[in-house]
């Protein structure tokens, strides 16, 4: 795939960064990870072709430090900076600084982020949609529903009505995103009155729903948007129903731990299960023996599934989590499985 670049600085950490680095390898691109002093040996660092130290453990002095990310891009000589979490992908100051440094920014331009994003907040609405925004309009538009009972994104899925082939019912403003200059991936919240709500760039949990539903690679889509126009878009193998879940540690904030068991998507899990379940994509931020640092959000792994219908996808995701041995750290797998069980049986997702 001609992209005009050979290397990418992956700005992020955890399972999302691991997923992006894995995609870079599939696309034949050199990946450069960034890390704090607390995560010199983190899984995303081990997976990347190269790694650059940003700074001390606090995220404000490392993972979220605009000047240090730009310096890392220049020092490593990469062709592009690909921001992973919405907190970075929606940072207009970072987008402007990367561009001013002569490095390609993989995401909407700074001016567009100032108008529609800029704060890096991931949509929290109970329903929304995902899309790849091009000059021609929305591609791979995918409606999504979300479980927010825990105050965080735990489970996202395609509504059953859409999975049968019904076109996505989007607010009229959604179709104007391309007109105002947004390019690349977008995660959108829809307000209760049906209007366009939060708008975010980057690789949210929901983005795995778009990938599974259409059989596309979000990293490839993001990179295509940042390159020269005119490249043919990848074909969709969907639409299919899809479900994505997050598995989080429930250690108290600031408490460190150590992962001792298998997680979905770690190297040992991949050898034993992934080949047998082609509809399942799991990505872990940790291998057995890794330290879970108390400085950061304790997202352990993500699991996403494509299936003929949402109920089947939910059951498959629940089966993956039910198979887990003790991980060495407490996690919310039981709560997530309860949501998936209700989704699989057509009951209201929020517990009564």
Of the three residues 106, 141, 158, the one that is the final residue of a domain is 106
Domain containing residue 92? 7-106
How do residues 152-163 score in pLDDT, each as one tens digit? 668 999 998 886
> Is residue 211 located within the same domain as residue 257?
no
C-alpha closest to that of 223 among 187, 185, 186: 185
In a domain, 203, yes or no: yes
Furthest C-alpha separation in the chain? 54
Least confident of 9-23, 73-87, 254-268: 254-268
**pLDDT computed for residue 15 by the predictor:** 95
For residue 75, CA distances in Å to 70, 116, 196, 307 come to 9, 31, 40, 44
pLDDT in tens, 142-155: 999 998 766 666 89
Q: What is the mean pLDDT of residues 81-95?
A: 94
Q: How much of the chain, in percent, has pLDDT values that exceed 70?
A: 90
Determine the Cα–Cα distance for residues 267 and 246; give it in Å rounded to an integer.
18
pLDDT tens sequence across 289-323: 999 998 887 899 999 999 999 999 999 999 999 88
Give which of 120, 125, 129 is closest to 148, Cα–Cα.
125
Residues 234, 201, 305, CA angle at the centre, nearest 5°?
Answer: 55
- In a domain, residue 267? The reply is yes
Is the predicted pLDDT of residue 216 greater than 60, yes or no?
Answer: yes
**Number of domains into which the chain is organized:** 3
Residues 271, 207, single domain; the answer is no
Percent of the chain surpassing pLDDT 90:
68
Average of per-residue pLDDT across 56-69 = 96
Query: Torsion-angle region of residue 77: left (phi > 0), alpha (psi -120 to 50) or beta?
Result: left
Q: How many residues does the chain have?
A: 352
Tell me the two tokens of residue 3: 């992209």
- How many angstroms separate the CA atoms of 237 and 200, rounded? 25
Say if residue 120's pLDDT is above 70: no
Query: What does the pLDDT read at residue 75?
Result: 96
- 298: CATH: 3.30.470.20
Mean pLDDT of the 101-105 span: 97
Residue 352: band (very low, low, confident or very high) from pLDDT cuts 50, 70, 90: very low
Domain boundary among 200, 226, 252: 226
Check: CB of residue 112 under 8 Å from CB of residue 48.
no
pLDDT digits (tens, 9 = 90+) for 4-59: 899 999 999 999 999 999 999 999 999 999 999 999 999 999 999 999 999 999 99
């Amino acid at each position: 795939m001609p992209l005009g670049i050979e290397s990418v600085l992956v700005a992020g950490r955890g399972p999302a960064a691991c997923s992006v680095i894995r995609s870079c390898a599939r696309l034949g691109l050199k990946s450069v990870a960034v890390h704090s002093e607390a995560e010199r040996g983190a899984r995303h660092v081990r997976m990347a072709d190269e790694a650059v130290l940003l700074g001390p453990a606090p995220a404000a002095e490392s993972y979220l430090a605009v000047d240090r990310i730009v310096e890392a891009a220049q020092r490593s000589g990469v062709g592009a900076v690909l921001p992973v979490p919405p907190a970075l992908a929606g940072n207009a100051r970072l987008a402007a600084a990367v561009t001013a440094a002569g490095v390609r920014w993989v995401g909407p331009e700074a001016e567009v982020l100032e108008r529609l994003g800029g704060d890096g907040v991931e949509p929290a609405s109970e329903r929304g949609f995902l899309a790849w925004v091009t000059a021609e309009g929305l591609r791979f538009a995918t409606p999504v529903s979300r479980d927010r009972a825990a105050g965080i994104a735990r489970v996202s899925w395609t509504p059953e009505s859409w999975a049968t082939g019904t076109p996505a019912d989007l607010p009229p403003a959604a179709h104007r995103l391309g007109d105002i200059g947004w390019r690349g991936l977008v995660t959108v919240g829809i307000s209760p009155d049906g209007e366009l709500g939060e708008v975010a760039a980057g690789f949210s949990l929901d983005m795995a729903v778009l990938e599974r539903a259409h059989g596309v690679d979000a990293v490839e889509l993001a990179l295509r948007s940042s390159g020269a126009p005119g490249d043919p878009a990848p074909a969709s193998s969907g639409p299919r129903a899809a479900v994505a879940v997050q598995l989080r540690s429930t250690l108290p904030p600031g408490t460190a731990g150590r992962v001792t068991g298998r997680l979905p998507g770690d190297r040992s899990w991949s050898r034993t299960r992934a080949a047998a379940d082609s509809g399942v994509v799991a990505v872990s931020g940790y291998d057995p023996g890794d330290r879970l640092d108390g400085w950061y959000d304790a997202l352990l792994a993500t699991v996403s599934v494509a299936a003929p219908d949402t109920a089947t996808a939910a059951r498959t995701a629940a089966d993956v989590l039910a198979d887990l041995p003790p991980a060495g750290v407490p996690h919310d797998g039981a709560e997530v499985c309860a949501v998936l069980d209700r989704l699989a049986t057509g009951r209201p997702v929020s517990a009564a």
